Amino acid sequence: MTDTPRDPTCEQTRVLIADDHDLIRHALRAVIDDEPDMEVVGEAADGEQAVALALELKPDAVLMDIQMPKLSGIEATKRIKDLLPDVLILVLTVHSSNEYILRILEAGATGYLTKSIISKDIPAAIRAAISGESILSEEILKKLLGYALRYPTRQHVPEELETVLTERETEILELVAQGASNKLIASRLDLSQNTVKKYLMGIFTKLGATSRTGAVINAQQIGLLSRHE
């Protein structure tokens, strides 16, 4: 299902909803369309349609269900992020295990939301993602970092990263690991928020990540942050 594209002069955040349950999509649409700064530009009932509509509509954010026919939400997220790296993807899931959340983040999702919060928490989460904040609670982030340390994918820091990551990038990465938003990082380091975003894009590229949390987890797994609490 596709809606007429919005007026390009409008500054609303454009959201695509992907879920195979009609009632869930309608509930999400009602919540989002009730926000003056957001609009739903399309709905997808399966993973393949989610990818196709993302390419067609180029939304600012996607609310992505995990379990969908034809293509899972995780695989759909990977494909969308490969083709449209700037699109923010918030995954809707009923799963909360560390290992499962890691799979979601490794696919390129900015964060995850449980289906129990189809309320005003969802627009707030979208706004937070747009502004560069983590969409994981401090408690969940700590658990994930602990999991990443216990089960590293690589045993040492690649030499090229030791030399390529600058002192400023490392400083920003450490603040991100503490849960600091772009605004707070900019304030602490006396930088503009746009400059912080540029640094983060460089960090993402070097660490092979597509989100703040993904960058922190990747850095933790290869030892870049293992010396820091």
Sheet containing 38-44: give its strands across: 38-44, 13-18, 61-65, 88-93, 111-114
Helix, strand, or coil (residue 17): strand
Is-contact 13 130, C-beta < 8 A? yes
CB 31 within 8 A of CB 39: no
Q: How far apart are CA 28 and CA 21, in angstroms?
A: 11
- Any idea of the CA torsion for 22, 6, 113, 100, to the nearest 10 degrees? 90
**Rounded-to-integer distance, Cα 160 and Cα 158, Å:** 5
Q: Tokens for 186, please give them.
A: 């900019």
pLDDT in tens, the chain (229 residues): 444 344 444 578 999 999 998 988 998 899 898 889 999 999 999 999 999 999 999 999 999 988 888 998 889 998 998 899 889 898 887 766 666 677 777 777 877 777 666 676 788 888 877 776 666 655 566 666 666 555 555 544 455 555 477 889 888 888 887 777 788 888 899 999 889 888 888 888 888 777 777 787 777 777 776 544 4
CA distances from 3 to 14, 53, 59 (A): 11, 10, 12
H or E stretch at 87: none
So what's the pLDDT on residue 225? 67
What is the per-residue pLDDT for 51?
Answer: 95
- CB under 8 Å, gap of 24 or more: what pairs does 127-130 form? 127/13, 127/37, 128/181, 129/61, 129/88, 129/90, 130/13, 130/60, 130/61, 130/88
Distances (CA, A) of 224 to 16, 142, 151, 173: 35, 16, 15, 9
Query: Looking at residue 4, what is its pLDDT?
Result: 39
Query: In this predicted structure, what is the pLDDT of residue 144?
Result: 64
Q: What is the pLDDT of residue 149?
A: 56
Domains (range + CATH), the chain = 13-130 (3.40.50.2300), 144-221 (3.40.50.2300)
The per-residue pLDDT for 2 is: 45
Model pLDDT, residue 44? 94
